[in-house]
Amino acid sequence: MLGKLSFRNAKRQAKDYVIYFITILLVVALLFSFNSIAVSEDIAELSNSMTNFSKAIIGINLVIVFVMVWLINYTMKFMLEKRSKEFGTYQILGIEKKDIANMFTIENLMIGLIAFVVGTFLGIFIYQVFSSIIMNIFAQPYQIVIAFDWKAVGITAGCFFGIFLLVLLNSRRKIKKTKVYDLLYADKQNENNQIKSMKGNVFLWMVSILLFFTGLWTLSLDFLNAQTMNGKKTIFAVVQWIVAIYLFYGSVSRFIVKYYLENKRRKYKKNHLFLFRNLTSKINTMSVTLGTIAMLFAFIMIGGNVALMMNGLLNNEIEMGYPFEIMIGSVDPDFSKYKEFMEKNTTVTDMYEYRLYNIPKTEIDKAFEGTMFEGRGYEEFDYVLGLTDYNRLREMLRI
Amino acid sequence: MILKKILKVEQIQKYYGNKDNLAKAIDDISFDVEEGEFIGIMGASGSGKTTLLNCISTIDTVSSGHIYLNNQDITEIKEEEIAKFRRENLGFIFQDFNLLDTLTIEENIALILTINQVPEKEIDERILEMAQKLGITEILNKYPYQVSGGQKQRCASCRAIVNHPKIILADEPTGSLDSKSARQLLEMLEDMNQNMKATILMVTHDPLSASYCQKILFLKDGRIFNKIEKGERERKEFYHEILDVLALLGGETKDVR
């Protein structure tokens, strides 16, 4: 009977919590597709630096896992609260707490398992999309193959069920701990607001702002010298920002609510009362939710900007290093064969031939110290070219 | 015939709050319930009647005093034994039914038998028998959301009695019902009490509901204010006595229909 009950509950839940289900499903799908990329041999063969790429994907996985922990915990808590009366009824009927916890576990495992299976299949297709994009970037021919990598499945399953079971264990503990009275009357309770005074909120707010700036300062220390940069300070800065974001949202939301509820004229204006009272009843969860979303947005924006910056940097470097379409260097002064080939096969409009002379090493490379040209000189000589050649080349580049 | 005392409440108290701000929800209440009694607890809101019921039903705990049910002290029952105690001794009827939405009416009733490990063969028989007595055979295969409030409460009552608990605790059972359904339910409770020997403790603020009881305790500010018995009188007569006590109690007469 209890098994039947939990099966029905799971079925009803799947209907009630469609959003929860779809979210888990998408998270699993994303996690699986990223894992597939990380372990894919096709992609690893693309380039030597692909191991770094795989490492970056693992980093992204960590972020997804973090979001997953928060998401699953949040929804399970939400479900527990929503169903507290039901659990209270079970207890009143004389069902052992252990059995109630088991029932909840079975239900959630069923939902989790279905989400995992469907999510994995969805992930296969998402992986195809991602890998075709990557292959495209490297201009590789690509065929769609329904590849199913057990290693990726293993990693995904490990992450997903690891988190799922941890959260579930926590929920079980809660079910066993909560008194039946609290379960039956749970919907009548509000979350309590820990910091009651305005001053406390303002103080926390100032601390959060301070942390933003100390974070910035720590980060700048890391970027002062590119040679000694090891990322430790960057991580420290990120930690400071995370704390700052949560503190900021916690204090500001409490401050705003307090500000409106303390003054009766503000409180009773329009529908302020209804709005702010609804906010206060769930203020702890709400500020954490806001903080988490803000943090993710911050990461997305920082990540996006860094990606754009790196892209610009690399493109720039290509432009600087190789400004012409075709450059041929040779110790043999006879270029006629090359010229002939180019005239046959390409549509070159302008061509110029010049000589480089080597002279004994000068102090010139000292002038490049600290710029991106540092260390680009040749070992024994410095190379020079004639001024006419130089001007002609500039003309070709229209500068 | 000497009747067995099924419930003994001894000088219980229930406080809320801390030292500086103490609220006494129950202030030294003692009474007994005998086997087969239909006893009502009345009082204004805030008089402590629901708290009292919660303490007896192991939903809440007392601050001091003892409650004996079938000679077992429920104030000292261990956490691991409480589920067993509840399923063997208590039947509940709530104001808002507390039926499980995922189960049909029949399954709702069957659940209590399965958790008491009644053999499968017997379950069906017992449900049918009880459903016939309570007039809910037609709706057994429906889900709670498909039936009316009155029918839900009948189902809840059936669930409360089907395992023959030592005592049935009812918290405002007519509170969510219209007057016709309320009357039907009360007649049913009366029938359960008289013909099926169920002991019922009912909390209510409605004088009409209370008039179906044999004995009524009136609470005021956490204390027993008065106690009346129906005896051999007609229900109508008893109803008027209740109204008189309520008038004395102050303020409740406005609830009279």
- Confidence grade of residue B256 (pLDDT, cut at 50, 70, 90): very low
Beta-carbon contacts of residue A46 (< 8 Å; ≥ 6 apart): A134, A135, A138, A140
The pLDDT value recorded for residue A242 is 87
More confident residue, A375 or B141: B141
Residue A119: which of A22, A13, A43 has the closest Cα? A22
The pLDDT value recorded for residue B30 is 93
Given an 8 Å threshold on Cβ–Cβ distance, is A93 in contact with B92? yes
More confident residue, B110 or B1: B110
Percentage with pLDDT > 70 across chain B: 96
Question: Within an 8 Å CB–CB cutoff, is residue A181 touching chain B?
Answer: yes
The pLDDT value recorded for residue B22 is 79
Residues 185-244 of B with CB under 8 A from A: none
Given an 8 Å threshold on Cβ–Cβ distance, is A94 in contact with B84? yes
Q: A314: number of CA atoms within 13 Å, CB side?
A: 6
Question: Within an 8 Å CB–CB cutoff, is residue A8 touching chain B?
Answer: yes
Residue of B nearest to A100 (CA): B83
Residues 50-79 of B with CB under 8 A from A: 54, 57-60
Given an 8 Å threshold on Cβ–Cβ distance, is A94 in contact with B103? no
Chain B residues whose CB is inside 8 A of the A1 CB are: 107, 110-111, 114-115
- Exposed / middle / buried, residue B232 (Cβ in 10 Å: 0-12, 13-18, 19+): exposed
Q: Is the pLDDT confidence value at B255 over 60?
A: no
Q: Is the pLDDT confidence value at B16 over 60?
A: yes
Range A152-187 burial, b when 16+ CB lie within 10 A, else e: bbebbbebbeebbeebbeebbebbeebebeebbbbe
The pLDDT value recorded for residue B39 is 94
Task: Supply φ then ψ for residue A385, to 5 degrees.
Answer: -135, 160
Computed over every residue of chain B, the mean pLDDT equals: 88
Residue of B nearest to A7 (CA): B102
The pLDDT value recorded for residue B200 is 94
User: ipTM beyond 0.90?
Assistant: no
**Residue-wise pLDDT tens digits, A142-199:** 666 666 778 888 888 988 888 888 988 998 998 888 888 888 876 666 666 555 677 8
Residue of B nearest to A86 (CA): B100
Given an 8 Å threshold on Cβ–Cβ distance, is A86 in contact with B100? yes
Q: How far is B46 from chain A (nearest CA, A)?
A: 16
The pLDDT value recorded for residue B253 is 46
User: Does the reported pTM lie above 0.80?
Assistant: no
Q: How far is B51 from chain A (nearest CA, A)?
A: 11
Given an 8 Å threshold on Cβ–Cβ distance, is A94 in contact with B54? no
Q: How far is A17 from chain B (nearest CA, A)?
A: 15
Q: Which of B54, B61, B86 to mutate to test the interface with A (most CBs of A within 10 A)?
A: B86
Question: Within an 8 Å CB–CB cutoff, is residue A9 touching chain B?
Answer: yes
Q: How many CB pairs under 8 A join A and B?
A: 59
State whether residue A382 is helix, strand or coil: strand
Would you list the DSSP string of A298-367?
HHHHHHHHHHHHHHHHHHHHHHHH--SS-----SSS--HHHHHHHHHH-----------EEEE--SGGGG
Would you list the DSSP string of chain B?
-PPPEEEEEEEEEEEEE-SSSEEEEEEEEEEEEETT-EEEEEE-TTSSHHHHHHHHTTSS--SEEEEEETTEEGGG--GGGHHHHHHHHEEEE-TT----TTS-HHHHHHHHHHHTT--HHHHHHHHHHHHHHHT-GGGTTS-GGGS-HHHHHHHHHHHHHTT--SEEEEESTTTTS-HHHHHHHHHHHHHHHHHS---EEEE-S-HHHHTTSSEEEEEETTEEEEEEE-TT--HHHHHHHHHHHHHHH-SGGGG--
Question: Within an 8 Å CB–CB cutoff, is residue B93 touching chain A?
Answer: no
Which helix or strand (DSSP H or E) is residue A381 part of?
strand A381-384
Residue of B nearest to A97 (CA): B83
The pLDDT value recorded for residue A49 is 63
**Residue-wise pLDDT tens digits, B105-126:** 998 999 889 888 889 888 989 9
Residue of B nearest to A91 (CA): B83
Question: Within an 8 Å CB–CB cutoff, is residue A137 touching chain B?
Answer: no
Q: What is the mean pLDDT of each run of 10 residues along chain A (399 residues)?
A: 73 72 86 83 70 74 81 82 85 88 85 89 88 76 71 87 89 86 72 66 89 88 71 82 88 81 79 78 77 85 84 79 82 84 84 84 72 63 85 85
Chain B residues whose CB is inside 8 A of the A95 CB are: 83, 87, 115
Of B57, B83, B101, the CB nearest to A95: B83
Asked if residues B100 and B111 have their Cβ atoms less than 8 Å apart, the reply is: yes
